Structure 1
Amino acid sequence: MKFSQKIGKTKVRSAIQVEAIDEILTNKLWNILTQYYNSLSPYSNANLGAARTYFSQLVWTDFFHQRVDRVSNYGGTKIHLFEEGKFYFKPVYDYVEVWFFNCEWYEKFDFIEFILEQAIQCSGLGEKINIALENEMSAYRVVDDSIVQITSEVEIAEIENALGNENDPINLHLTTALEYLANRDKPDYRNSIKESISAVESICQKITGDDKATVGKALAKIEKQYSLHVSLKSSFSTLYGYTSDASGIRHALADQAKEISFEEAKFMLVVCCAFVNYLKNLTIKN
């Protein structure tokens, strides 16, 4: 874990890449696209030429909407793409490389969608891209050859709003949960969930003045004192029970412990942050 993460200086939007693609993720995506491009084998029908040649021409004309006969590099020099009936793919590749490392994050995703939509020997490409996106904590995924946002602005706002006083135990639990989730070298989803629910436990203990109260016991007191809706209390008690089941999230790992996913850990972080925010507002108003 990086020093900035250990002391709680990791920002939510840098931990979860929202409206951004950092250098490491850019490099990973480019490597995947390059490996795919280099794996293209010649088409059987010779009139189309090699797959890479055909694909380069497709990218140049259908994605960049440029003239089919020439390419202009970033210095403005015109390079002819045709000679004796051949289309040269190398100038297009060089152009795309410079463009990809200089374009906006959303343009990178536009390009990836275009590649996926062509479905030219594309088996497994989306899965490889998704692995890179998940490992680098991107807020986006490939779904049916389209890029979709899986972490909304509302979710980000809930996390940011819940992160308050650095010395507050509630904040420390949530910050640690985010750090475990955002550790790109070795993410710890199980302990992320544990810290998320511990934040709820901390605020419940703070509200009730009982530093030994469990979430269930504390919520029963809060229900009576602050008119917490019984269904809401029941729902969160059930969610709390999920963290204490046989998967060993809050206790010793069972032999058949369930593997925890990024989606589960992120869900618990967002839900716990939202519930912390709700309880804060509930007690302030009452």
Structure 2
Amino acid sequence: MDRSVVSFEQAEGVEPLPTQLQLKQLTQELRALLWAVIVNSTERSATEAMTGYMGTTLVFSAQSAWGRILRDKHVLRDHLPIDEFDSDFHFQMESLKKIFWEGDYVLVFGTLQWILRHASCPPNLARGVDFCLQRARAAYRVIDGRTVAPIASEHERDALLQALTTSHEAGLEGARAHLRNAAGAASEGSYADSVRESISSVESVVRVMAPNKSLANALAELQKTSHVHPAMKSAFEKLYGYASDEQGIRHSLLLDGDSKVDEGDALFMLGACASFVTYLISKGRAAGALKSDA
């Protein structure tokens, strides 16, 4: 982990980031899932070839999908002489395994994207890779069947880290705990819980600044005392309304119901609420409603 872009607590593993915000990271689970997809796909292209009297071995024929992919990779990506290409199945699999199990995220995703964009790429490979990314809740997805792209931005990650640090400095451990819970829930795929915890982080700050008031009344009070911009107040009220009304977030699920909250909703709310927590703390300090340190 690059310690220059995370807090001390995050680097030490005390503060969790949702795995969807852990850009430039490859978990052991994701490596295992991706490798399983590659193995299943390549095995379909392997054929037996004679090696001598009554002997056979597995190879990638020049006519098979993976035979063409690996042959082109040898020349066009690895920049090696064509006459040195080895079609032996086990040799090629060991070479690919080293990439997927030992390579950094650039090498792994770069290789995957190159394969996905190859004219001979098996039709179901992109779907399999994207399933792995979703299953491992990685910060990347396959876009348009040929491009590996991040689903979360550096800005969203930095907003969360800033809010965790700022809330701790202000002594608002309740807000900080809600943000940590929201991050953990997003990593576990509990998206409705994540949204609920994100909203609760803002409520926690607001109610410290304006005790014994409903959220709507507290925001109205803060608009006067802390100079919260009306547009910011309105924006959060709308976000809060979503979290209050969407089935399964604020209210218990009906017996035959199902929450419609997805990963994108959870990550957006986490980033938005983290930014709003930092904003409110700044306004509260300026108005004297919060201590400047803790």
Same fold by TM (over 0.5)?
A: yes
Aligned to 1:226: 226
Q: 2:28 aligns with which of 23, 47, 66?
A: 23
Q: Structure 1 pair 53/14, CA: closer, same or farther in 2 (3 Å)?
A: closer
Aligned AA (1:163): L
Q: Deviations over 1:55-106 (max 9, x none)?
A: 32122222212112226xxxxxxxxx3xxxxx44442332222233222211
Offset at residue 121 of structure 1 (A): 5.0
Offset at residue 249 of structure 1 (A): 0.7
Aligned to 2:67: 53
Offset at residue 163 of structure 1 (A): 1.3
Offset at residue 107 of structure 1 (A): 0.9
Q: Structure 1 pair 53/246, CA: closer, same or farther in 2 (3 Å)?
A: closer
1:51-200 matched pairs, under 5 angstroms? 51-70=65-84, 81=86, 87-120=87-120, 122-144=122-144, 145-164=146-165, 165=168, 168-183=173-188, 187-200=189-202
Residues in 2 aligned to 1:152 and 1:261: alpha-carbon distance in whole angstroms = 17
Percent of matched pairs sharing the same residue: 27
Q: Structure 1 pair 33/108, CA: closer, same or farther in 2 (3 Å)?
A: same
Q: Deviations over 1:100-141 (max 9, x none)?
A: 322221110100001100142532322322222223232111
Offset at residue 198 of structure 1 (A): 0.7
Q: How many residues align?
A: 258
SS of 1:19's equivalent in the other structure is coil
Aligned to 1:75: none
Q: Structure 1 pair 127/52, CA: closer, same or farther in 2 (3 Å)?
A: closer
Which is bigger in relative contact order (C-alpha 8 A, separation at least 6)? 2
Does 215-224 or 126-135 show the bigger shift? Answer: 126-135
What is the root-mean-square deviation in Å for CA atoms of aligned residues? Answer: 2.6
| Equivalent pair of 2:162/2:278 in contact (CA under 8 Å) | yes
Residues in 1 aligned to 2:106 and 2:247: alpha-carbon distance in whole angstroms = 38
Offset at residue 276 of structure 1 (A): 0.4
SS of 2:148's equivalent in the other structure is strand
Aligned AA (2:203): E
Residues in 1 aligned to 2:80 and 2:164: alpha-carbon distance in whole angstroms = 48
| Equivalent pair of 2:186/2:266 in contact (CA under 8 Å) | yes
Residues in 2 aligned to 1:17 and 1:125: alpha-carbon distance in whole angstroms = 24
Aligned AA (1:269): L
| Equivalent pair of 1:223/1:230 in contact (CA under 8 Å) | yes
Q: Structure 1 pair 253/119, CA: closer, same or farther in 2 (3 Å)?
A: farther
Structure 2 stretches of 5 or more lacking a match?
1-12, 48-60, 288-294
Aligned to 2:278: 277
Offset at residue 48 of structure 1 (A): 4.5
Offset at residue 149 of structure 1 (A): 1.6
Q: Structure 1 pair 214/39, CA: closer, same or farther in 2 (3 Å)?
A: farther
Q: 1:37 aligns with which of 15, 34, 42?
A: 42
Aligned AA (1:25): L
Aligned AA (1:224): K
Q: Deviations over 1:212-245 (max 9, x none)?
A: x332121111111112111211111011000111
Aligned to 1:263: 264
Residues in 1 aligned to 2:103 and 2:20: alpha-carbon distance in whole angstroms = 22
Aligned AA (2:242): Y
SS of 1:142's equivalent in the other structure is strand
SS of 1:65's equivalent in the other structure is coil
Does 139-148 or 13-22 show the bigger shift? Answer: 13-22
